[in-house]
């Protein structure tokens, strides 16, 4: 009865193919709600927009933009906006689907959405970046809003870009609407703790998982792929807890130091380097990119892009714990290898949910125009993450399934129960 979507072409290692297979794996655990499972395999609404801007040299450039509202059964759409030259509709669909699972896994009153522009922001001047952001916001303005769909930062987007989105939306709406976007600068309705929230969530869930498997963080060896917001913050928090970060890989290369990298120095180096990358850091040796995957470590944190851990790489990985800071870093065949090898994966849809959780706090604070302290935010964040992980762990024990399938089971029950209670219209 239900044919596959005609406008996407998933393969087993693409983001969308990965997501579909994750849904197939949870299907046996959905009980009577399985009647609604097809709803998890289709986006509710996908908007493709043309984003034309005038470049600084007077020429006109066009970029392809997307906003996908994947599922709105539990509340407004929520999810970041990614600026990257490889962004496609299919990728944004997968990312929006993962947001749906993620918000349900931590029980935030949201659905899932995601947006993106197919652009390399490194090639744009700051003024061109602003024009791209504003025109994109205006084009997707028909479907976003504080009560309908709330964007946030993702790969290559930041608080300044969120401020432009907020301003553009507000100008068109005729009044300041801080709640239309999260991850804003603090004095424009942003929340304390938001910048570090995703990395903090990776650390908190990782610490909890380490405790449960009997891994002492003191002296534990950590390898991190990606040194953007998520990778750098989680690396620092693990180092502060006594772990040693032995390897970091980013778009400029891989560096290694068996005695542990000095993270404050590395961060300062990356911020000052023209390529904004780790390559060339003096107190480390350079390492071949593929060797990164077999580095001797206890904890591996993929915190870059999706599809990084293939089955072949999963065979080489020597960590006991994999903490998914990125969205979709592990393909399903690699999940099977991890399971066979007894390597525990804390999946993205819980591990990196700290960002959207503090986004939720920001949105609540904007509505009430009453702002919390950083301590209050961190305490509430930690509590939500620890409680969510504990429910997921119980589910995994109950059915003898991986943490990923258990997270999907907890989340999909919530999504499909909401779907059933709301009923179909007409
Ligand atoms: N882009 C982040 C994510 O993938 C945060 C989304 C949000 O805060 O809405 O979870």
Q: What is the pLDDT of residues 318-334, one digit of tens each?
A: 999 999 999 999 999 99
Please tell me if the CB atom of residue 132 comes closer than 6 angstroms to any atom of ligand 1.
Answer: no
pLDDT, average across residues 204-218: 98
Q: pLDDT grade, residue 1 (50/70/90)? A: confident
pLDDT digit string, tens, across residues 46-65 = 999 999 999 999 999 999 99
Q: pLDDT grade, residue 87 (50/70/90)? A: very high
| C-alpha distance from residue 404 to each of 123, 335, 348, 408, 412 (Å) | 37, 9, 8, 6, 12
Please tell me if the CB atom of residue 325 comes closer than 6 angstroms to any atom of ligand 1.
Answer: no
Q: Which atom of ligand 1 is nearest to the CA of 153?
A: 1
Identify the residue whose C-alpha is closest to ligand 1 atom 9: 79
pLDDT, average across residues 215-226: 98
The answer, yes or no, to whether residue 265 has pLDDT greater than 90, is yes
Please tell me if the CB atom of residue 80 comes closer than 6 angstroms to any atom of ligand 1.
Answer: yes
Q: According to the model, what pLDDT value does residue 370 have?
A: 97
Say which of 114, 184, 196, 395 is annotated catalytic: 114
Q: Which atom of ligand 1 is nearest to the CA of 82?
A: 1
Residue 104 belongs to what H/E stretch?
A: helix 89-105
3-state helix, strand and coil shares in percent for the chain, rounded to the nearest 5:
50, 15, 35
Q: How many angstroms does the Cα of residue 195 sit away from the middle of ligand 1?
A: 11
Where does 129-260 show beta strands of DSSP type E?
149-150, 221-225, 244-250, 253-256
Please tell me if the CB atom of residue 327 comes closer than 6 angstroms to any atom of ligand 1.
Answer: yes
C-alpha neighbours within 13 Å on the C-beta side of residue 81: 32
pTM of the model: 0.98
Q: How many angstroms does the Cα of residue 57 sit away from the middle of ligand 1?
A: 34
**Same fold for the domain at 3-177 and the one at 195-330?**
yes
Q: Residue 374 contacts by C-beta under 8 Å, 6 or more apart in sequence?
A: 192, 193
Q: Which atom of ligand 1 is nearest to the CA of 98?
A: 4
Q: Which atom of ligand 1 is nearest to the CA of 80?
A: 1
Please tell me if the CB atom of residue 350 comes closer than 6 angstroms to any atom of ligand 1.
Answer: no
Mean pLDDT of the chain: 97
pLDDT, average across residues 6-31: 96
CATH 3.40.50.10860, domain 3-177, yes or no: yes
What dihedral do alpha carbons 397, 402, 407, 413 form, nearest 10°?
Answer: -70
Tell me, yes or no, if 196 is annotated catalytic. no
Rounded CA gap, 229 and 354, in Å? Answer: 12
pLDDT digit string, tens, across residues 316-374 = 999 999 999 999 999 999 999 999 999 999 999 999 999 999 999 999 999 999 999 99
Q: How many angstroms does the Cα of residue 80 sit away from the middle of ligand 1?
A: 5
Q: According to the model, what pLDDT value does residue 238 have?
A: 98
Q: According to the model, what pLDDT value does residue 256 have?
A: 98
Q: Structure tokens of 144?
A: 């976003």
Q: According to the model, what pLDDT value does residue 244 have?
A: 98
Q: pLDDT grade, residue 161 (50/70/90)? A: very high
Rounded CA gap, 121 and 291, in Å? Answer: 29
Please tell me if the CB atom of residue 182 comes closer than 6 angstroms to any atom of ligand 1.
Answer: yes
Q: How many angstroms does the Cα of residue 420 sit away from the middle of ligand 1?
A: 26
Please tell me if the CB atom of residue 152 comes closer than 6 angstroms to any atom of ligand 1.
Answer: yes
The answer, yes or no, to whether residue 414 has pLDDT greater than 90, is yes
Please tell me if the CB atom of residue 74 comes closer than 6 angstroms to any atom of ligand 1.
Answer: no
Identify the residue whose C-alpha is closest to ligand 1 atom 8: 356
Share of the chain above pLDDT 90, in %: 98
Superfamily for domain range 195-330 = NAD(P)-binding Rossmann-like Domain (3.40.50.720)
Please tell me if the CB atom of residue 356 comes closer than 6 angstroms to any atom of ligand 1.
Answer: yes
Residue 342 burial (CB count, 10 A): 8
Domain extent listing, the chain: 3-177, 195-330
pLDDT digit string, tens, across residues 165-188 = 999 999 999 999 999 999 999 999
Q: How many angstroms does the Cα of residue 199 sit away from the middle of ligand 1?
A: 12
pLDDT, average across residues 289-297: 98
Q: According to the model, what pLDDT value does residue 2 have?
A: 86
354-368 vs 89-105: helix crossing angle, rounded to 10: 80
Q: Residue 152 contacts by C-beta under 8 Å, 6 or more apart in sequence?
A: 78, 79, 80, 81, 162, 181, 182, 183, 355, 356, 359
In this structure, what are the phi and psi dihedrals at residue 267, rounded to the nearest 5 degrees?
Answer: -60, -45
Q: Which atom of ligand 1 is nearest to the CA of 182?
A: 8
């Amino acid at each position: 009865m239900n044919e596959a979507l005609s406008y996407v072409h998933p393969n087993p290692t693409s983001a969308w193919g990965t997501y579909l297979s994750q849904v197939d794996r949870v299907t046996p655990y959905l009980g009577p709600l399985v009647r609604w499972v097809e709803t998890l395999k289709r986006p509710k609404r996908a908007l493709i927009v043309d984003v034309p801007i005038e470049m600084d040299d007077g020429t006109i450039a066009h970029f392809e933009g997307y906003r996908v509202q994947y599922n709105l059964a539990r509340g407004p759409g929520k999810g970041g906006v990614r600026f990257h030259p490889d962004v496609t509709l299919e990728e944004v669909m997968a990312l929006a689907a993962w947001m749906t699972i993620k918000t349900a896994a931590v029980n935030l009153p949201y659905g899932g959405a995601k947006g993106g522009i197919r652009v390399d922001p490194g090639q744009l001047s700051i003024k061109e970046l602003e024009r791209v952001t504003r025109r994109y916001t205006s084009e997707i303005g028909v479907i976003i809003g504080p009560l309908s769909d709330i964007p946030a930062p993702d790969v290559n987007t930041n608080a300044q870009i969120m401020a432009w989105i907020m301003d553009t939306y507000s100008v068109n709406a005729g009044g300041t609407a801080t709640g239309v976007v999260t991850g804003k600068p603090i004095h424009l309705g942003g929340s304390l703790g938001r910048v570090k929230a995703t990395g903090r969530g990776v650390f908190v869930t990782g610490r909890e998982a380490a405790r449960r498997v009997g891994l002492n963080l003191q002296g534990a060896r950590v390898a991190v792929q990606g040194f953007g917001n998520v990778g750098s913050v989680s690396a620092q928090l693990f180092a502060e807890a006594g772990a040693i970060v032995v390897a970091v890989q980013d778009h400029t290369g891989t560096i290694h130091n068996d005695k542990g990298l000095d993270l404050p120095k590395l961060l300062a180096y990356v911020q000052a380097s023209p390529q904004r990358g780790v390559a060339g850091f003096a107190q480390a040796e350079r390492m071949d990119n593929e060797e990164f995957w077999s580095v001797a470590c206890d904890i591996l944190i993929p915190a870059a892009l999706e599809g990084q851990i293939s089955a072949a790489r999963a065979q080489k990985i020597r960590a006991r714990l994999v903490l998914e800071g990125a969205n979709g870093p592990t393909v399903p065949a690699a999940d099977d290898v991890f399971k066979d090898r007894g390597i525990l994966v804390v999946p993205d849809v819980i591990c990196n949910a700290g960002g959207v959780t503090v986004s939720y706090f920001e949105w609540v604070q904007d509505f009430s125009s009453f702002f919390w302290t950083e301590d209050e935010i961190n305490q509430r964040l930690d509590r939500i993450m620890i409680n969510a992980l504990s429910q997921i762990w119980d589910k995994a024990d109950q059915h003898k399934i991986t943490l990923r399938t258990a997270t999907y089971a907890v989340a999909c029950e919530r999504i499909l129960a909401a779907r059933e209670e709301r009923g179909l219209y007409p």
